[in-house]
Structure 1
Amino acid sequence: MRSGVQQTPNRMAILDPMKLIGSLTSPYVRKVRIVFNEKKVDVDLELENVWAADTKIASTNPLGKVPCLIADDGEAIYDSRVIAEYADGLSPVSKLIPADNRERAAVKTWEALADGIMDAGILARLERTLRPAEQQSQTWYDRQMGKIDTALRQMSEQLGENAWCHGNQITLADIAVGCAIGYLLFRFPEIKWQTQYLNLDRLHQKLLQRPSFIETEPPAA
């Protein structure tokens, strides 16, 4: 006896490729691009200028910031710290964030310190480039540059003579630090951190040998 209910074959949902919305000069975008590269996970890069009058970034990230990741299910993920952690869980290759809770916190603290340098640097640069000269605040600018100086000193002290920021292999801590000091070279070449903090320079030179850093080098200003 034949049933009146017809069986339909199971169909797997068709997922779109992941898409990373960002710019070539953002240090936060560079950070997550390096993470995807180190994890051997493919992601399409869609360039977006958030300062352009016709930017559409708010349609995916209401904060109007990059990077913004459109996952393969179409959902938006932001900001760079969230994307980096998400990317690290996509592949067992090159685990960048430790599973141990305390070690994880240590790596994420390094990332917060590095991101703080980038935050301060961007705020200082915007003060000089977006505000009319008569409206610029030297006090505000000096405050941001002071944060950078203090953070660099802390980084150097914590790194000491170690080969890596945490543990015996590259982690998200090193990637974040490399992007932060690389951003200073890109936007603030007058800050001579290389001669003041030789251990940070050694780490940076080592990172620059990696394909992930080479491929994400920002274009000449």
Structure 2
Amino acid sequence: MKLIGSLASPYVRKVRIVLAEKKLDYVFELENVWVPETRIALANPLGKVPCLVMEDGSALIDSRVIVEYLDTLTPVCKLLPAGGNGRERAEIKTWEALADGIMDAGVLVRLERTLRAPEQQSADWIARQLSKVTLGLAAMEQRLGAHAYCAGKNYTLGDVAVGCALGWISFRFPEIDWRAEHPGLALLFDKLSERPSFKDTLPQ
């Protein structure tokens, strides 16, 4: 398999962490989708990363689709529940959706600030997106409570997604002091950061 992505994308990082946790072999191909010479459309017509190219040349797109597929390839470190436990699975996927939503909002702020001239930027738009980050972090803190991991006692895909979101917020928005306001998330993030899969995929 070949993973097309960047070292800064939190969505790509999520896939890289899952690949590492599942002990799956792959080739990592760096791609900058923002330069004119990008060739990402050859694999993903939407022009986004991550994109996972399979052995037969077909491609999977969107991090949520990719990681769910990867979890089926080997029983090593199961990140989603097997069988018919739909409620538990939905709970973990909700954690992932919440974490991805925080990253989505943060990405929109970054694009507004970096791709538009200062006089063209919308302060209201930026504030609206940053409020989603703030509310999303507060919701995650409340949902986590005193649990060891997002889904309770076990490490799951929810933790991977939340760890990527928190790491990316710290990377791109160091002015957001989420640790001070969300001690539960800070403890979880510190624990996740000790895993080799997280250490080896720090955003850069």
Q: CA deviation at 1:72?
A: 1.5
Separation (CA, whole Å) in 1 of partners of 2:132 and 2:125: 11
SS at match of 1:169: coil
Separation (CA, whole Å) in 1 of partners of 2:12 and 2:197: 13
Separation (CA, whole Å) in 1 of partners of 2:172 and 2:157: 22
- Matched residue, 2:130: 145
Separation (CA, whole Å) in 2 of partners of 1:204 and 1:73: 37
Q: Superposition RMSD on alpha carbons, in Å?
A: 0.6
Q: CA deviation at 1:167?
A: 3.1
- Matched residue, 1:69: 52
SS at match of 1:25: coil
Separation (CA, whole Å) in 2 of partners of 1:167 and 1:182: 21
2:109 matched to 1:124? yes
2:202 matched to 1:192? no
- Matched residue, 1:91: 74
2:140 matched to 1:168? no
- What is the identity, as a one-letter code, of the residue corresponding to 1:105? A
TM-superposition CA deviations, 1:87-136 (whole Å, max 9, x none): 10111001001122111111000000000011000000110010011110
Separation (CA, whole Å) in 2 of partners of 1:168 and 1:198: 18
Q: Which has the higher contact order (CA 8 A, sep 6+)?
A: 2
2:19 matched to 1:36? yes
Residue identity (%): 61
2:31 matched to 1:45? no
Separation (CA, whole Å) in 1 of partners of 2:152 and 2:169: 25
- What is the identity, as a one-letter code, of the residue corresponding to 1:46? E
SS at match of 1:45: strand
Aligned length: 202
Separation (CA, whole Å) in 1 of partners of 2:26 and 2:190: 26
SS at match of 2:4: strand
SS at match of 1:119: helix
Poorly superposed stretches of 4+, deviation over 3 Å: none
Structure 1: segments with no counterpart, 5+ residues: 1-17
Separation (CA, whole Å) in 2 of partners of 1:110 and 1:218: 21
SS at match of 2:89: helix
Pairing 1:16-31 to 2, within 5 Å after superposition:
18-31=1-14
Q: CA deviation at 1:73?
A: 1.7
Out of 57, 75, 80, the residue aligned to residue 40 of structure 2 is: 57
TM-score by length of 2: 0.98
The structure with the largest alpha-carbon Rg is 1
- What is the identity, as a one-letter code, of the residue corresponding to 2:2? K
- What is the identity, as a one-letter code, of the residue corresponding to 2:157? L
- Matched residue, 2:97: 112
